[in-house]
Structure 1
Amino acid sequence: MPANPTQGHVVVAPDKFKGTLEGAEVAARLAAGIRRVRPGLEVRELPVADGGEGTLAAALAAGFTRIPAKVAGPTGLPVDAAIAVKGEVAVVELAQAAGLARLPGGRTAPLAAGSFGVGQLIGRAVSLGVRRIVLGLGGSACTDGGAGLVQALGVGLFDAQGVELPPGGAALRRLHRLDPGSLADTLAGVEIVVAGDVDNPLLGPRGAAAVYGPQKGADGADLVVLEEGLTRWADVVRDSTGVDFRDAPGAGAAGGVGFAALALLGATMRPGIELLLELLGFDEAVRGARLVVTGEGCLDAQTLHGKAPAGVAAAATGAGVPVAAVAGRVELAEDQWRGAGFVAAYALVELAEQPGDSISKAAELAELAGETLARDLLGAE
Structure 2
Amino acid sequence: MNILVAMDSLKGSLSSVEANKAIAEGFFKANSAFKVQTVPIADGGEGTAEALVHATNGQLIESVVTGPLGQPVKARYGILGDRTTAVIEIAEACGLPLVPEAERNPLIATSYGVGEMILEAVEKGCQYFIIGLGGSATNDAGVGMLQALGYRFLNKQGFDIRYGGAELKNIAKIDSSCVPEKVRTARYRVACDVHNPLYGVNGAAYIFGPQKGATAEMVKELDDGLKCFANVVLEQFGVELQHISGAGASGGLGAAFAGFLQVQLESGVGLILEMAGLEEKLQEVDIVVTGEGKLDRQTSMGKAPAGISRLARKHGLPVIALAGDISDGDSPLHESGISAYFTIVSGPVELEAAMDPEAARSNLKRTAEQIGRLLCLSMKKEPRDGSLASEA
Matches within 5 A, 1:57-76: 57-62=50-55, 63-76=57-70
For residues 13 and 30 of structure 2, the distance between their equivalents in structure 1, rounded to whole angstroms, comes to: 25
For residues 70 and 31 of structure 1, the distance between their equivalents in structure 2, rounded to whole angstroms, comes to: 35
Q: Deviations over 1:191-246 (max 9, x none)?
A: 11111111111111211111111221112111111101111111111122111122
Aligned residue for 1:133, secondary structure, equals strand
Matches within 5 A, 1:325-344: 325-344=321-340
Counterpart of 1:233?
A: 229
- Residue number among 143, 152, 174 corresponding to 2:139 in the alignment: 143
Counterpart of 2:215?
A: 219
Counterpart of 2:113?
A: 117
1:296 aligns with 2:289: no
TM-score, with length taken from structure 1: 0.93
Matches within 5 A, 1:37-116: 37-62=30-55, 63-86=57-80, 87=82, 88-103=84-99, 107-116=103-112
Shift of 1:288: 0.6
Structure 1 pair 213/376, CA: closer, same or farther in 2 (3 Å)?
A: farther
Q: Deviations over 1:315-357 (max 9, x none)?
A: 12212221111111114444332112111111134x2353434
Structure 1 pair 252/40, CA: closer, same or farther in 2 (3 Å)?
A: same
Shift of 1:190: 1.5
Shift of 1:182: 3.1
Q: Deviations over 1:81-122 (max 9, x none)?
A: 122112221111111111112225773222111111111111
Query: Residues 170 and 226 of structure 1 are in contact (CA less than 8 Å); yes or no, is this contact kept in structure 2?
Result: yes
Counterpart of 1:3?
A: none
Aligned residue for 2:250, secondary structure, equals helix
- Residue number among 349, 355, 374 corresponding to 1:354 in the alignment: 349
Aligned residue for 1:262, secondary structure, equals helix
Q: Deviations over 1:171-199 (max 9, x none)?
A: 11111111112337232431111111111
Aligned length: 373
Query: Residues 106 and 140 of structure 2 are in contact (CA less than 8 Å); yes or no, is this contact kept in structure 1?
Result: no
- Residue number among 359, 367, 370 corresponding to 1:369 in the alignment: 367
* Amino acid in structure 2 at the alignment position of 1:19: G
For residues 287 and 28 of structure 2, the distance between their equivalents in structure 1, rounded to whole angstroms, comes to: 14
Shift of 1:279: 0.7
Query: Residues 5 and 38 of structure 2 are in contact (CA less than 8 Å); yes or no, is this contact kept in structure 1?
Result: yes
For residues 327 and 117 of structure 1, the distance between their equivalents in structure 2, rounded to whole angstroms, comes to: 34
* Amino acid in structure 2 at the alignment position of 1:79: V
For residues 372 and 210 of structure 2, the distance between their equivalents in structure 1, rounded to whole angstroms, comes to: 42
For residues 250 and 80 of structure 1, the distance between their equivalents in structure 2, rounded to whole angstroms, comes to: 28
- Residue number among 164, 169, 173 corresponding to 1:177 in the alignment: 173
Structure 1 pair 159/188, CA: closer, same or farther in 2 (3 Å)?
A: closer
For residues 188 and 355 of structure 1, the distance between their equivalents in structure 2, rounded to whole angstroms, comes to: 50
Counterpart of 2:388?
A: none
Structure 1 pair 312/166, CA: closer, same or farther in 2 (3 Å)?
A: same
Identity of paired residues, percent? 37
For residues 307 and 48 of structure 1, the distance between their equivalents in structure 2, rounded to whole angstroms, comes to: 11
For residues 328 and 205 of structure 1, the distance between their equivalents in structure 2, rounded to whole angstroms, comes to: 35
Query: Residues 352 and 358 of structure 1 are in contact (CA less than 8 Å); yes or no, is this contact kept in structure 2?
Result: no
Gaps of 5+ in 2: 384-392
Gaps of 5+ in 1: 1-6
Structure 1 pair 305/335, CA: closer, same or farther in 2 (3 Å)?
A: closer
Aligned residue for 2:17, secondary structure, equals helix
Structure 1 pair 283/201, CA: closer, same or farther in 2 (3 Å)?
A: same
Query: Residues 150 and 180 of structure 2 are in contact (CA less than 8 Å); yes or no, is this contact kept in structure 1?
Result: no
Counterpart of 2:4?
A: 11
For residues 236 and 331 of structure 1, the distance between their equivalents in structure 2, rounded to whole angstroms, comes to: 48
For residues 370 and 285 of structure 1, the distance between their equivalents in structure 2, rounded to whole angstroms, comes to: 20
* Amino acid in structure 2 at the alignment position of 1:71: V
CA RMSD of aligned residues (A): 1.8
Matches within 5 A, 1:148-297: 148-183=144-179, 185-297=181-293
Structure 1 pair 223/161, CA: closer, same or farther in 2 (3 Å)?
A: same
Shift of 1:155: 0.3
Aligned residue for 2:76, secondary structure, equals strand
Q: Which moved more, 1:326-335 or 1:222-231?
A: 326-335
Query: Residues 16 and 40 of structure 2 are in contact (CA less than 8 Å); yes or no, is this contact kept in structure 1?
Result: yes
Shift of 1:301: 1.5
For residues 97 and 32 of structure 2, the distance between their equivalents in structure 1, rounded to whole angstroms, comes to: 39
Aligned residue for 1:342, secondary structure, equals coil
For residues 165 and 348 of structure 1, the distance between their equivalents in structure 2, rounded to whole angstroms, comes to: 52
